[in-house]
Chain A
């Protein structure tokens, strides 16, 4: 005890002494802010400027045109409907699954977490593509139905149904994970208390457990909804020709109709909606922004409704009505409570099927012998693998993508790492605005950002160069690298740095001997997330790839649009295999190093 506190006093006093020197830790924020402002904010503002430009200088002409265009409104309405539906389904299913997870034995929970996480880390492009193999004519569902004797199955893909299924599958982990992280910490004692006081399990859940989870549910709903608003790949692959969502509509306006101003205007309108939602839902989103302890989150926990007990003479009729309503609610809840096991079980079966089937289908399909879509394959072969490894263009794209994504991820981890240090250890006041700015590349739909970036840099010959791809990917990686490193730094005792400094370590030595070792896991996972963000991207590549530099995802995307063949499945299996091999290799190397060390020490001692 006394040792502890004296040590604290010692380092605390030291910190005060150190602080007397001008604190220049904010300098580490400079690269982060420079990159975000130059490469992210400026493109968006140039887009804004473009949207006001027309034949005769500055005007609102573009807005008038778009707002009165039925095509735009239809795309907008479709987008909002799909977003609302997929959000509702994702959150309901995610809540069910997350709740069931918390009630399971530990070991089963670990296995089922894998079911959620592996799809989460798998490319969106590949998962969407798998749904074609499942849902299209000749695919899994149609063939299965044919076996049962259904000859004309309903059309499930290349329409809004397919779009919805794909979107739900892709966003389900995004809905589930934040809910799970909150509700796995909830104390169950109050639920038990409610039961002992006469509430059936479902009623107790509703009155006691649900209020504690509602802000987590809203947060995940907000995340899913905002993500869906900017979705491009999944709707483009699984939707029909007339089902364009707003992101596709922006692209069509830009490249097919050659109307940059119109595209900019649509982009600005979408951006407005997204930002408006962000502001409205900010207090629920804030916890996942790595801002840490803002007042708004505390406010979110206290319900706005004030109690009405013990007040003055109440309106008798209203109260009777309320009692009746409560009774109906409880009766309904009792029914649900009695069915809770089947409901949770069905939720998990449906969710797990949604999450896992695409991966299994892709793995099997890659060994198909056919050149068109039949699933399950009628004959198996490895010809598509041979095809892939013999094709210069595909291999070239693969290496190009690997190189660009890892370069971008390294830059983003370095800039993001320093930025996180400035964010956590630097001045207090600008923390929130900076954290919001850092999160923005995740919130702003990539279509909007890519368009802005393209329009800005196209005159300067960056399109089709590696640099032109790397720069936007650095920006897309920053939200991950900053937030993960910042979280790790916040858990790291800052007195460690002060202690090292008191022992004579300069800034560089502190970085090398204290910070880097402690932050290594965070930096690695920041790298992985940034890498995946770049490696998975189709939208930026659509704008920035030139005829010679086609990234792998873009090549896959174009290939799928052209004809549905097993080629993309092969790429997916190769990539997954390489990922698994890398993970394995790490373990093997660690094991070898240890074995060598043991052997050497034996030699030395004998």
Chain B
């Protein structure tokens, strides 16, 4: 008995976020590596989003944090304490599950009171805590209902209340908004963010929705194939993606294939396939590119501008508009060029003077600072060959 209560957090303490450190965390199922060598350190009170496509290993990573999976190797430290081998019920982590995992046979109040009951809190205290938690998620009047008498969004908030009622220093959420409709999802983003600020808890938030990650998180870890591809703030990630994968997964990107060359001035520039051979294009991260390599150059659609062919000069490429998709504040133009098809997102303000129609000839242009080169993990065409 003493062993149980020891692991449980003291409920009355003022909530402060916990500090989490993952050190070379890996998980294999047989020969398959679901998570490979993830190292992250998450600061007190930080909101970290883990973003990645399906099968990237996000849930597996979270399960190791909650204790439902044992890491194959690596360490997990919460506030300096290694918890990798601690049983789930002794970790005192709040978890919001993907499909809420509410207790169907208990009322909302009993659901929310469950962690308090496990912590042997007196019924009187429990009531006030439950009341408070339900107020936080704006469900005061629903205490006596059963989960199947609630809407999806309300169930979601019950799950949230249940996870925060015992003031855990660390809150994990696995795609908590995945089952909600779009409007509700956007509303809940704001609610969760507000709650986190009020509680001061550290939050690790798993999602495959980049919009969620960009708007809510302090920092985002992009996962792919079990490893973290990039860790950074939302603007870092969006403006300076570290890999083609990140550039593609976070926001949209036009990719052009090409080859790097070292110019006479010592700078590395890119010759795009299908482009004029004498045209050497600058990239923003030229310093980190090796010469004589296959690369992809990524440019965001909103960084592309379309100009009349006559006045064009400099590193432009001529193409034909083959589709115009009206989006409201912006319009997406699909342009066929010698370097490949590309999309340009033009704001209506810019379109006031010249509107492009399907079939128009345009000169495609972008600023050198908006283009980033990424080495292609190529076989056979290494720099030496």
Contact = CB atoms under 8 A, between A and B. Distances in A.
Contact of B105 (A192, A303, A314, A331): A303
Task: Say whether chain B's binding surface is mostly helix, strand, loop, or mixed.
Answer: loop
Contacts of A203: 89, 118
B89 A200 contact: yes
A307 interface: yes
Contacts of A204: 89
A327 B120 contact: yes
Contact of B144 (A307, A314, A322): A307
A194 B93 CA distance: 12
B67, B101, B106, B119 — most chain A CB neighbours (10 Å): B101
Interface in A178-198: 187, 189-190, 192-198
A190 B144 contact: no
Contact of A309 (B87, B89, B115, B143): B143
B293 interface: no
Contact of B122 (A193, A199, A309, A323): A323
Contacts of B1: 331, 334
Interface stretch (A92-100, A206-214, A511-519): A206-214
B300 to A, nearest CB: 34
A322 B122 CA distance: 10
Contact of B101 (A192, A199, A200, A330): A192
Given A196-B88, A307-B109, A309-B113, A334 B4 contact: yes
A196 B92 CA distance: 7
A319 B125 CA distance: 12
Contacts of B216: none
B97 A197 contact: no
Interface in A24-77: none
A118 interface: no
A198 B103 contact: no
B97 A189 contact: yes
Given A197-B118, A319-B123, A190 B110 contact: no
Interface string B78-116: 000000000111011111011101111111011001110
A559 B188 CA distance: 76
A371 B123 CA distance: 71
Interface size class of B (residues with CB under 8 A): 35 or more
Interface string B275-318: 00000000000000000000000000000000000000000000
Interface residues of A, number: 34
Contacts of A327: 120
Contacts of B118: 197-199, 203, 330
B291 to A, nearest CB: 52
Interface string A303-346: 10001011000100001001100110011001000000000000
A326 B1 CA distance: 13
Contacts of A331: 1
Given A208-B103, A309-B143, A310-B143, A193 B92 contact: no
B114 A197 contact: yes
A192 B166 contact: no
Contacts of B107: 307, 309
Contacts of B346: none
B4 A193 contact: no
Given A203-B118, A207-B114, A309-B130, A198 B99 contact: no
B10 to A, nearest CB: 12
Contacts of A310: 109, 127, 130-131, 143-144
B88 A309 contact: no
B192 to A, nearest CB: 18
A192 B143 contact: no
Contacts of B242: none
Contacts of B8: 198
Interface string B127-145: 1001100000000000110
Nearest to B114: A197
Contacts of A208: 103
A302 B107 CA distance: 11
A307 B110 contact: yes
B194 interface: no
B127 A309 contact: yes
Contacts of B93: 196
Interface of B: 1, 4, 8, 66-68, 87-89, 91-95, 97-99, 101-107, 109-110, 113-115, 117-120, 122-124, 126-127, 130-131, 143-144, 146, 162-163, 166
30 contacts: A187-B101, A190-B101, A190-B102, A190-B103, A192-B66, A192-B88, A192-B97, A193-B97, A195-B68, A196-B67, A196-B88, A196-B94, A197-B95, A197-B118, A198-B8, A198-B118, A200-B4, A200-B89, A203-B118, A204-B89, A212-B105, A302-B146, A309-B126, A309-B130, A309-B143, A310-B143, A314-B123, A330-B4, A331-B1, A334-B4
Interface of A: 187, 189-190, 192-201, 203-204, 207-208, 211-212, 301-303, 307, 309-310, 314, 319, 322-323, 326-327, 330-331, 334
Instruction: Across the A-B interface, give the 3 residue pairs with the lowest CB-CB distance, nearest first.
Output: A198-B118, A309-B109, A189-B101
